[in-house]
Structure 1
Amino acid sequence: MLSYNPYGLIIELNMSNNVDYLNNIISYQAMHLFASGLIDDVIIGNAYASEEELRALSEVNRYQLMLHVDYVKQISDIEKPQHFRRGDMNEIVIRSTMPRVTYKDIPNPPHDNEEEFQRGDVLIGNDNFGIYKNEFQIVLKPHKEPRKNKIGSIAKDELFLLDFIKP
């Protein structure tokens, strides 16, 4: 009820973690909080935070989600540029279309395209996908499409962040 106060009081949340569960969780929590759009600042008061955890936290960009991808194999340069989500959202995939423009003349033969793609899989349109060739996508709902190549998957610990990726 305090957050609905008529006085404009600033509300702070003090979250504690089980020490055994702290392994890299601080930066994930910060990404989650920033992505929610509900907070302005994250203040860490954790006596057990390691240098590595604090370094990871310092690299969190509150304005841009940096998801980690586990690649299926060595990938080409056209398969790994920085991406942004298109404004015309759909429920099946997150689409980043600039690579299909930038790399439209670069061949991208089919590979890793026969299985059903799962939430968090990272795809790129192959040579058979017409004008969508080299379009980068992240799967939200499972589907099959032989005109897309699986190039990796979002790290399992970060799948929850897909719901926060906006145009």
Structure 2
Amino acid sequence: MTKRTLGISLYPDHSDFEQDRAYLDIAAQAGFTRLFVSMLEVQDGKTRVTEKYQRLIQHAHQLGFKTTLDVAPNIFDQLGVSYQDLSYFASLGADALRLDAGFDGHEEAWMSYNPPGLDLELNMSNDVEYLPNILTYGANQPFLYGCHNFYPQRGTGLPLDFFIACSQRFKRAGIETAAFVTAPGATIGPWDINDGLPTLEMHRDWPLAVQVQHLFSTGLIDSAIIGNAYASQTDLQQLGRLNRYHLTFTVTPTAASHPVERQILLDNLHERRGDINDLTIRSTAVRKRYHDANPVNEDRHTFQRGDVVIGNDQFGKYQNELQIVLQPHQDQRKNLVATIAPDQLVLLDAVGPWAKFAFVAAD
């Protein structure tokens, strides 16, 4: 299974090289390793384009980035490049080409055998037999990758069920996948309309870290790429600290919680039981590890979605079991120990059977 990565995007025809370089430096320090560079809006002549892109990609390579150039058929014509000869893009330093628009399947298969060894990233945002068609032409599969579109216009991003169907086609074939998230306040993209640049419409107004956690929680995306530039240094650093393999909820512990409850809450990787229910997310293994007394605390015992509770001494064999509340209910046998940050409540639906999750206390 491919390890998960983080990426950023740059638009050399709409940005300044020194700002791009500084952004790359910050992102590299935060643990980002993928760079998406758009060539869809190239305006300068080939000599100027070559100089501009080589300079940027060379700096990215020095920092350890793998660079993908996003291209469309008109760019090949504009630069005088043949589909059968991708050496020009290799001369820029690119590691991969993303085909914003597809061909007939046979063409992509041929391109996957390009002598420079560039990877070929295919557009994932269509639920059609595009990938199987390419594979039937004997494509060089280790050089094929998948990458979703982003959607600058509000209301045009993919719905979740469609996104899942599209992504499953690539995962079933063992193809590495990527999708885009959008950074609040970032204003640079490929076009004059920029309502954010997510793949999923539901992500458009979510906090950046929540978008990334949600993408990875689907189990269908290997790389999360920030579609717009420039994300803030704080956002980049926060993403760099995220665990990419399980959800981490930010919580505010209650003043009435006992020391053992804080240990159970914060010092463990939790797992939802496989036989799930609609009322709570149950982490049962902790009750087998913690046998400390846990009296009824003085906080409320009427719970709302996103509350974290732990069984107290009145709960018999369920003493010290941790639960995340999904539906409001009341139970004197459970102590309220923390509340999940409101902007992360959307992630509760991503905690499936046997899913792992952890908690971190808010600063």
Q: Report if the CA contact (8 A) 2:258-2:294 is conserved.
A: no
Show the 5 A alignment for 1:43-58.
43-58=225-240
- Write the distance in 1 (CA, Å) between the matches of 2:313 and 2:240: 40
Deviations, residues 19-51 of structure 1 (Å, cap 9, x unaligned): 289998221111111123342211124323111
Residue 192 (structure 2) aligns with: none
Higher strand fraction (1 or 2): 2
Check whether the contact 1:112–1:150 (CA below 8 A) recurs between aligned residues: no
Give per-residue Cα distances to partners, 1:101-141, cap 9 Å, x unaligned: 1112x000101454310000000000110000000000000
How far does residue 5 in structure 1 lie from its aligned partner after superposition? 2.5
Question: Among 132, 139, 150, which residue is 1:14 paired with?
Answer: 150
Contact 1:113 1:146 in 2 (8 A): no
Indicate the residue corresponding to 2:281 in structure 1. Answer: 94
* Alignment-mate amino acid for residue 92 of structure 1: L
Counterpart pick for 2:245 among 52, 63, 69: 63
Q: Structure 1: how far apart are the matches of 2:272 and 2:341?
A: 18
Does the 8 A contact of 1:125 with 1:147 survive in 2? yes
In the other structure, the counterpart of 1:115 is 301
For the residue of structure 2 that corresponds to 1:48, the secondary structure is coil
Long gaps (5+) in structure 1:
none
Gaps of 5+ in 2: 1-123, 135-145, 153-181, 187-195, 197-203, 355-363
8 Å CA contact retained: 2:272, 2:283: yes
On the 8 A contact 1:94/1:140 being kept in 2, the answer is yes
Superposed displacement of residue 98, structure 1: 1.5
What CA distance in whole angstroms lies between the structure 2 residues aligned with 1:75 and 1:158?
24
CA distance in 2, matches of 1:143, 1:150: 12
| Residues 78-87 or 20-29, more deviating | 20-29
Q: Secondary structure at the match of 2:217?
A: helix
Partners of 1:98 and 1:71 in 2: CA distance: 21
Q: Which residue of 2 aligns with 1:34?
A: 216
Change (3 A) 1:70 1:15: farther
| 2-structure distance, mates of 1:149, 1:53 | 34
TM-score when normalising by structure 1:
0.87
Look up the equivalent residue of 2:225 and give its one-letter code.
I
Q: How far apart are the structure 1 equivalents of 2:248 and 2:216?
A: 12
Q: Which residue of 2 aligns with 1:149?
A: 335
Does 1 or 2 have the higher relative contact order (CA < 8 Å, sep 6+)?
1
1:61 shift after superposition: 2.4
Q: CA, structure 1 residues 51+75, in 2 after alignment: closer, same or farther (shift >3 Å)?
A: farther
| Deviations 1:49-72, CA, capped at 9 Å, x for gaps | 111100111122232000011111
Moved over 3 A (4+): 15-18, 20-24, 112-115
From the CA coordinates, give the structure whose radius of gyration is larger: 2
Tell me the distance in 2 between the aligned counterparts of 1:126 and 1:143.
Answer: 16
- Label 1:148 to 1:4 Cα distance change in 2 as closer, same or farther (>3 A): same
Which residue of the other structure, out of 128, 146, 149, is the alignment partner of 1:5? Answer: 128
- 1:15 deviates by 4.8
- Please name the residue that 1:163 is paired with: 349
**Structure 2 SS opposite 1:67:** strand
Matched residue count: 166
Whether 2:226 is the aligned partner of 1:103: answer no
Superposition RMSD in Å: 2.6
Q: Distance in 2 between matches of 1:14 and 1:75?
A: 46
Separation in 2, partners of 1:155, 1:2: 31
